[in-house]
Amino acid sequence: MRQQVTKRWRMKELPDQEVVAALISDKCPTPLAILLAQRGITTPREAARFYRPGLDDLHDPFLMAGMQQAVERIERALGDGERIMVYGDYDVDGTTAVALVHSLLSRFTGELTFYIPDRYAEGYGISHQGIDHAKRDGVGLIIALDCGIKAIDKVRYAEELGIDMIICDHHRPGDELPPAVAVLDPKRNDCSYPFKELSGCGIGFKLVQGLAQRNGIPFVELEPLLDLVAVSTACDIVPVVGENRVLMHFGLKRLNTDPRPGIRVMLEVGNVKRRIGVTELVFIIGPRINAAGRIEHGRQAVEMLLAHDEAQAAQIGVRIDKNNATRQDLDKETTRQALEMIDRDASLGEAWSTVLYDPDWHKGVIGIVASRLIETHYRPTIVLTESNGKAAGSARSVKGFDVYEAISACSDLLEQFGGHTYAAGLTMPLENVDAFRTRFERIVRDTLEEHQRVPEEDVDVEVPLERLSPEFLRAVEHMAPFGPGNMRPVLLTRGVVETGQARIVGGDHLKLAICDPADRRRRFDAIAFRQGDKLDLVRSGHPFSLIYALEENEWNGRRTMQLNVKDIKVGTTDLLVNEARTGSMDLDRASVE
């Protein structure tokens, strides 16, 4: 069993005690007030908005640069009976965006089609093949979702063929915007839209919101589309703050009351019988939607999401579930091969970055494999394979390091690249792989700081074991939905012991029960994913400390409190890098000592 990277623990700064005191009420006990204050919430009014997001908190879509032009061009197409193509990427964000926009436009016209590029034949983003298909199909307008912000040549090509384009993207623009009829991207330098972190599907929702406003469609008729926005927001790892928190809140509400047939089928094949939260979206729904594009074709995912009845959705869903099982096998085997490659090559083991290439790796899993490698070799990682005679890859990064900027510094070696701070995709000639590896390693060594080479877990608050209770758990759960910008609180408890039930489950997960050595009657169940290497540590009989997220576990209809363990360390002192400066918190009082 391979050992995980040693983590560094850091306690978050203590919030101002006056802010904490101002937040406390009968409905907001001290522990919750501390956690809220750490998230920048300073008044009861802000707390109320945090707990009860309202649809009136959504911004006017026409504040987004290009929205007026986009809506007017779509209305002209609808009025003229012009054929429209909804075009999107093959991942969760792209396919949900296509399903969302297609759903609304189908109310206005039958002259409508959608297109998802083949991951392997066409690659990411707008393709010449897709534009050619649109021309043959008589399309006059393409609405591109979750892609296109750098597709300058492709937009010009479409224009030459007499096809207009509207770009709806959330990735970083280059120095030049594509010459489309409209470009919707809050990250445009000239866009004053108040919220910059929408998913691609979120941008699509703002577009249909704009169309609805112009055509007198009440917002309540758009609410069935929010389930798709919630799925994309969770799976594309965008911050769950501001407008995203509102969209996620109401999207989850929809998913738990009236999920669309395609999502209901995925929950059934995933054996989900509990309340749907972000975890279910990220680990059950998202991988299955992605599996369609990874193993066969992303079009299947859109067809399933657009299905009007469960029988139709089930036919596609069963096939997609089989694709997901295949994806899991490929993921596991490719990760094994990649780790062996690092072990065999001393230069790879000593590097500050990981750049691996194998022409036989499946392109559909290289992004997942890059994330897996970071768990044991914590550094910026790029995994490449051969695709259509080119080296195509996925990049993943470590906390605080902008992998997109590092890749951008190698742009002369690349044919195409795009992405975010922590994840990117790239394509290059095969003969450039070695030069790219050398350049990327040099850039990482020049810019990655020493402290960034060790994974760090932020701890929200230290809580003695006896303070954990169903009431405390409920207080934490009320902070949902969780995600970047509002992560589930991480707690620290020192000096616990294992009760003798520790065992390995699911290959490399550690299942255990812990207690305070002074009170062995009160036990707490815990699960430490991919930490099977800690079994001997917890069985030693010596006190240990752990950091964890407190969660509700539902099994066979029974709900219990469970500790989702992030890391375990021997002993009780010198656990935090800022141990001497953290102070202490009295969870029974309104003060921070």
30 and 151 part of one domain: no
**φ/ψ bin of 181: left (φ > 0), alpha (ψ from -120 to 50), beta (otherwise):** alpha
**Residue 61: other Cβ atoms inside 10 A:** 23
Instruction: Measure the CA–CA gap between 192 and 195, rounded to whole angstroms.
Output: 9
Structure tokens given for 192: 């004053």
Element housing 11 (H / E):
strand 8-11
576 and 462 part of one domain: yes
* Cβ neighbours for 186, distance < 8 A, ≥ 6 positions apart: 64, 170, 193, 195, 196, 197, 198, 203
Domain boundary among 390, 424, 447: 447
176 and 120 part of one domain: yes
* Cβ neighbours for 41, distance < 8 A, ≥ 6 positions apart: 23, 47, 50
575 and 498 part of one domain: yes
201 and 161 part of one domain: yes
Q: Are 83 and 110 in contact (CB under 8 A)?
A: no
In a domain, 269, yes or no: no
Angstrom distances, CA of residue 124 to CA of 130, 158, 324, 382, 394: 11, 17, 20, 16, 11
In a domain, 280, yes or no: no
In a domain, 322, yes or no: no
61 and 46 part of one domain: no
* Cβ neighbours for 56, distance < 8 A, ≥ 6 positions apart: none
Mean pLDDT by 10 residues, the chain (593 residues): 79 89 82 87 90 94 98 98 98 98 96 95 92 98 97 98 98 94 97 97 98 96 97 94 96 96 94 89 95 93 95 93 94 97 93 98 95 95 96 96 97 92 94 98 97 93 90 88 93 95 94 94 94 95 96 82 96 77 45 30
436 and 358 part of one domain: yes
Per-residue confidence (pLDDT) for residue 273, from 0 to 100:
82
Beta pairing, strands 139-145 & 503-505: unpaired
Per-residue confidence (pLDDT) for residue 1, from 0 to 100:
60
197 and 103 part of one domain: yes
In a domain, 261, yes or no: no
425 and 468 part of one domain: no
Angstrom distances, CA of residue 320 to CA of 226, 285, 293, 498, 550: 23, 11, 9, 41, 32
Per-residue confidence (pLDDT) for residue 231, from 0 to 100:
98
Residue 476, domain CATH: 2.40.50.460
Instruction: Measure the CA–CA gap between 148 and 164, rounded to whole angstroms.
Output: 13
Per-residue confidence (pLDDT) for residue 579, from 0 to 100:
67
In a domain, 196, yes or no: yes
Per-residue confidence (pLDDT) for residue 592, from 0 to 100:
30
In a domain, 330, yes or no: no
In a domain, 28, yes or no: yes
Q: Report residue 327: phi and psi, to 5°.
A: -60, -40
In a domain, 264, yes or no: no
Residue 282 is classified by DSSP as: I
Residue 369, domain CATH: 3.10.310.30
The gap from C-alpha 146 to its chain's centroid, in whole angstroms, comes to: 14
Q: What DSSP line would sit under 327-380, residue for residue?
A: HHHHHHHHHHHHHHHHHH-HHHHH-SSEEEE-TTS-GGGHHHHHHHHHHHS-S-
Range of the domain at 568: 8-51+457-581
Per-residue confidence (pLDDT) for residue 583, from 0 to 100:
47
Per-residue confidence (pLDDT) for residue 584, from 0 to 100:
47
75 and 203 part of one domain: yes
Q: Report residue 145: phi and psi, to 5°.
A: -120, 135
Is the backbone peptide bond immediately before 186 cis, with ω within 30 degrees of 0? Answer: no
In the three-class reduction of DSSP (H, G, I as helix; E, B as strand; rest coil), residue 185 is classed as coil
**Number of independent structural domains in the chain:** 3
Instruction: Measure the CA–CA gap between 234 and 237, rounded to whole angstroms.
Output: 6
**Residue 442: other Cβ atoms inside 10 A:** 15
Residue type, 377: H
The residue count of the chain comes to: 593
155 and 200 part of one domain: yes
Domain boundary among 168, 202, 220: 220
Query: Per-residue pLDDT tens for 415-473?
Result: 999 888 899 999 999 999 999 999 999 999 999 999 999 999 999 989 899 989 898 89
Query: Per-residue pLDDT tens for 300-347?
Result: 999 999 999 999 999 999 999 999 999 999 999 999 999 999 999 999
Domain boundary among 174, 199, 220: 220
In the three-class reduction of DSSP (H, G, I as helix; E, B as strand; rest coil), residue 236 is classed as coil
User: How many CA atoms lie within 13 Å of 461's alpha carbon, on the beta-carbon side?
Assistant: 26
Q: What DSSP line would sit under 381-439, residue for residue?
A: EEEEEEETTEEEEEEE--TT--HHHHHHTTGGG-SEEEE-SSEEEEEEEGGGHHHHHHH
187 and 88 part of one domain: yes
Residue 75, domain CATH: 3.90.1640.30
Instruction: Measure the CA–CA gap between 345 and 178, rounded to whole angstroms.
Output: 43
